[in-house]
Amino acid sequence: MRFAVAQWAPEYGTPTELDETTGRVEVGIEVPAGEWRGLVPDVEPVEDVLFIDGVRRVDANLWIEQPQGRPALGLAATYAAGAVRSNGTAEIVAAKVERGLFTSASAEDIVTTCGTYSVKATSGQTPEELWLGIQHRMGELEGAVAAEQGGAALVVADGPLSHHRHAEGAVGRVVGYVKREHVEYLPSELWDVKYGLGVGRRTPLFVTPTSWSRYSWYLRLAMGAGPVEGLVRCEVSGDMEVAAAVRLADQVTATLPRFASAPHKDPRAPENLYPIAGLERELRRRLGDRALMYRALRSAASRAA
């Protein structure tokens, strides 16, 4: 039996957790399906790149008393978003931190010695729905950070593009960077092209229509322990002309491999790009001490009682 040991540290899961193929993609946008092959970008790498990312943390689970009925669940959470600009050197140019009380129940802001947890209404009350509420707010904050940073030739948003595609003045420059794949988009007859990509090559564009349309492609950042590692998916707005999307895909493919991380420096190598990893560390530091937040929330609860 032949096998390869994944470079990703097990505590981070796996870079690929695939469900069934969607069967809803259009693969003939740039190259007919029967002519698919790995494409080499014929452009120079972009030097001025802005990387956007966010982090979040639940500081405490709360039971919120209600006028009638049983107490309702709420999550007191801290989340942050920021940006790193790489243009010869890498510099953190933006960082925003917010705190929220996520619940669908009747609630009031919680004022603590470490800050105020403002009520953030969610569409449901299950733990999963509350967590999605945190994710949505963090995505909005990432979008706000991206919109405030002007001038970069390329904006790379860590994760799917949904919260970043409307960044003002940057529609043709914002790229979603998806390093963990949960859905197999391509039909099986194209898997050889996808998994056989060489470093610095990409697949042709394909369209992934969900609630909105996106141009997507796979690119090989670096070689890992097997054909899955070092393979990421990028996406841009489907509102662009195909020629513009092709050029942007080539620029991204020529640019990102130099930011790929090494296993001895990052447990999610090579997919976790160096600028994003550094930004994550700084944003987590700015979230503050979780134990301190927890004690502040306990104290606020005691005062309210």
Residue pLDDT, tens place only, 145-186: 988 887 789 999 998 887 554 555 555 688 999 988 878 889
Give percent of the chain with pLDDT exceeding 70. 88
Q: Within a domain: residue 80? A: yes
When pLDDT is cut at 50, 70 and 90, the band that residue 24 belongs to is: confident
Q: Cα 225 vs. chain centroid, distance in angstroms? A: 23
CA distance linking residue 186 with residue 184, whole number of Å: 6
User: Which has the closest alpha carbon to 272: 286, 262, 285, 282?
Assistant: 262
Cβ atoms of 56 and 120 within 8 Å: the answer is no
Q: Within a domain: residue 5? A: no
Range of the domain at 128: 10-304
Q: What is the pLDDT of residues 200-234, one digit of tens each?
A: 999 999 998 666 788 999 999 998 777 888 999 99
CA distance linking residue 44 with residue 251, whole number of Å: 7
Residues 6+ apart with CB under 8 A from 69: none
Q: What is the pLDDT of residues 67-107, one digit of tens each?
A: 877 888 999 999 999 999 999 899 999 999 999 999 998 88
CA distance linking residue 216 with residue 231, whole number of Å: 13
Alpha helical stretches, state H, 149-241? 191-195
Q: Within a domain: residue 116? A: yes
Instruction: Report the number of distinct structural domains present in the chain.
Output: 1
Q: Within a domain: residue 246? A: yes
pTM: 0.89
Q: Within a domain: residue 2? A: no
